[in-house]
Amino acid sequence: MKELYCPLLLPVDPFKNFNKIKFIKKRQEILEHNTLSDEYFDFLNKLNIKLNHIEIFVSVPNKYYAIHKDQHDKDDFPKLNFIFDGRGSKMNWYKPKETCLPNLLITDVGSPFISYELQDVDLIFSHEIHSPSLVQAGVPHNVTSPTLRWAVSTVYMSKDNKLFTWEEILCVFKDYIID
């Protein structure tokens, strides 16, 4: 379902000396921009985009993670995720039922999100995510993981500081989409 998930094959390695193990203690952390390689920033520059922010999420095996939508005020919020380990893990997207009463919350790192109860949503798509992939985080989603999984999640903006829509980010990465 290309409006929620799109795998990519990038021409450069985004990371330099990335040690995922040092991120085992917290569920979510903001990462420094210098986590990414100079080659990756050169690549982004050629695409005429810039990194807005980068964070890491750690999923432990067989734990339930809440269904949520990133950025409570956006229904279209694409991210580029890089997944480490987590074989068999799936990202699941949901449609809220009309009677749904979502809950506005803030993460431990200060990011707003909306949380949903399982009975208030219907599953619309589920897919094992491999690295790297564009994912739609403006639609309610969660992750199920039978193994330890790290997801480095990145958000991009145009040179004039505007966040991309899903359609715009697909155009930006069109030459790297895996069909």
Confidence of residue 38 (pLDDT cuts 50, 70, 90): very high
Q: What does the pLDDT look like over 51-90, one tens digit per residue?
A: 999 999 999 999 988 999 987 678 999 999 999 999 999 9
Please state the three-class secondary structure of 2-32 as a single string.
CCCEEEECCCCCCECCCCHHHHCCCCEEECC
Report DSSP state, residue 163: B
Residue 105 has pLDDT above 80, yes or no: no
Residue 22 has pLDDT above 90, yes or no: no
Q: CA 30 to CA 20: how far, in whole Å?
A: 13
Measure CA 115 to chain center. 16
Interval 1-11 mean pLDDT:
93
Domain ranges of the chain: 5-176
What's the CA angle centered on 152, arms 149 and 154, to 5 degrees? 150
How much is the pLDDT for 41? 96
Cis (ω within 30 of 0) for the bond into 7? no
pTM of the model: 0.91
Percent of the chain with pLDDT over 90: 68
Residue 136 has pLDDT above 90, yes or no: yes
